[in-house]
Amino acid sequence: MGKTLSEKVWQDHVVRSADSEPDLLYIDLHLVHEVTSPQAFDGLRQAGRPVRRPDLTLATEDHNTPTLNIDQPIADPVSRIQVDTLRANAAEFGVRIHSLGDVDQGVVHIIGPQLGLTQPGMTVVCGDSHTSTHGAFGALAFGIGTSEVEHVLATQTLPQARPKTMAVNINGEPPVGVTAKDVVLALITKVGTGGGQGYVVEYRGSTIESLSMEGRMTICNMSIEWGAKAGLIAPDRTTFDYLKGRPHAPQGEDWDAAVEYWTTLKTDPDATFDVEVDLDATELTPFVTWGTNPGQGVSLGGRVPDPEEFIAEADRTAAQKALEYMALQPGQAMRDIAVDTVFLGSCTNGRIEDLRIAAEVLRGRHIADSVRMLVVPGSARVRLQAESEGLDVIFKEAGAEWRAAGCSMCLGMNPDQLAPGERAASTSNRNFEGRQGKGGRTHLVSPPVAAATAVVGKLSAPADL
């Protein structure tokens, strides 16, 4: 019987396999950031162990870094200690680091692909749940805990139990105005936040094939939001074209050998998945969330649901609690919801294409007086690229704040936070209670919806302008 894509990648990385034990998997790329790595490095130090493969390891600073005055010392003492510790550890253990101010600093999941380090058929791990982003290249990529970070640093391997496989088939041409973000938000609302638990998911179908790499990354990024261990997409011409010429992409004969291998990375016709899910993209509309988990979503043209509509008791109580926290009424039109803040950025939607789409909406327009808009490029290079295209000017003329790269308001570990009770339209991936600041309320949206919402002051799509 044939194999699925994820089974092929898995198989190519098994160092050791024994009955009733997890497989020992080789890790091709280990990404490291300041929040989940300090104790791992400390553990190595205590045990007198080196980093086995510094040349397969890359560190950057993103979660704690400020997006203003980046040339000055970090004000928050805890953030500063974490960042300084990462710098010291990187120096001590010989790990390459892209620090604040470096042209390749940025959100860890943006810089891997940007440098051409994320390639098809690789295993990629990071102490961060959104590592699934790298699956867009046909890599098996997943988040790990701090003890596992230490394990990978010391051994470049990880014991892993074989996950189950799932296919998500997304077909059809999405209507105008529907982006990858809308596709994945609609999917999560359909399957629920626990729907992918225990599975490695392969996204496939004509909708996926016609997406850009940026769009594919947006979809894979949110795999974890519905519980999947990883999400991946078979590499194709779009993938190869994106990679060609990037600093760490293979060159010359290596490139040809790589493409030959990459081309084999697809699910065999006779392979079977443990589960399959279908989604018709032709029926999608711009999608936004009303609640406090990414599965509580609805069409932008829809209304806040009545908790009574939910059949399962648990969903009903969850909806009730979410509406209370979000200060929303059942039946309220989504388009009537006014926001205070718009956040454009994160590893979900902080890439150049996202900024271009939003800038296009804002060109020649001004955001509402009641709204502040933060534009935070996912990496310093994305910021430079945007500036070379004049996007920064469009954002600034529209009244938005043009910031430096980092995670920023995606999780509010730096000063970019919502105030209690403040409401945001955000292109990030988590609308959990307090995620963007204590008491803050988050509606997850796509970049064009974020831009249109900033202009109108209420949740809106570009078509409303």
Cβ atoms < 10 Å from Cβ of 11: 12
Q: Which structure tokens are listed for 397?
A: 């003329």
In the complex with another protein, the residue whose CB is nearer, 26 or 310, is 26
**Which entry of another protein, ligand SF4, none binds 155, CB below 5 to 8 A by partner kind?**
another protein
Interacting residues with ligand SF4 between 22 and 81 (CB under 6 A): 62-63
Considering the rule CB under 8 A, would residue 57 count as an interface residue with another protein?
yes
For residue 249, the partner it binds in ligand SF4, another protein, none, with Cβ less than 5 to 8 A by kind, is: another protein
Structure-block tokens of residue 343: 């956040």
CB of 278 to ligand SF4, least distance (A): 28
Backbone angles phi, psi at 136, to 5 degrees: -60, -20
Sole binder of another protein in the list 3, 162, 190, 248 (CB under 8 A): 248
Site of tokens 């935070």: 376
- Distance separating alpha carbons of residues 364 and 85, to the nearest angstrom: 44
SS3 letters across 198-244: CEEEEEECHHHHCCCHHHHHHHHHHHHHHCECEEECCCCHHHHHHHC
Task: Identify the CA nearest to 346 among candidates 373, 385, 376, 302.
Answer: 376
Residue 51 to residue 73: CA distance in whole angstroms: 28
Instruction: Answer positive or negative: Cα dihedral of 409, 413, 416, 420.
Output: positive
- 410 lies in the site for ligand SF4, by CB under 6 A: yes
- The nearest distance, CB 82 to ligand SF4, in angstroms, is 13
* 429 interacts with, out of ligand SF4, another protein, none, CB within 5 to 8 A per kind: ligand SF4
**How far apart are CB 106 and another protein at their closest, in Å?**
12
Name the residue type at position 145: G
Give the interface segment with another protein, choosing from 156-164, 229-237, 289-297, 365-373 (CB under 8 A): 156-164
User: Which tokens hold the place of 220?
Assistant: 């894979």
Among 130, 351, 423, 441, binds ligand SF4 (CB under 6 A): 130
Q: Which stretch binds ligand SF4 (CB under 6 A): 8-16, 315-323, 326-334, 403-411?
A: 403-411
Interface ranges with another protein (CB under 8 A): 15-16, 24, 26, 28-29, 38-39, 42-43, 46-47, 49, 54-58, 78, 81-82, 85, 96-99, 101-104, 115-117, 119, 122, 146-147, 150-151, 154-157, 159, 247-250, 254-255, 257-258, 261
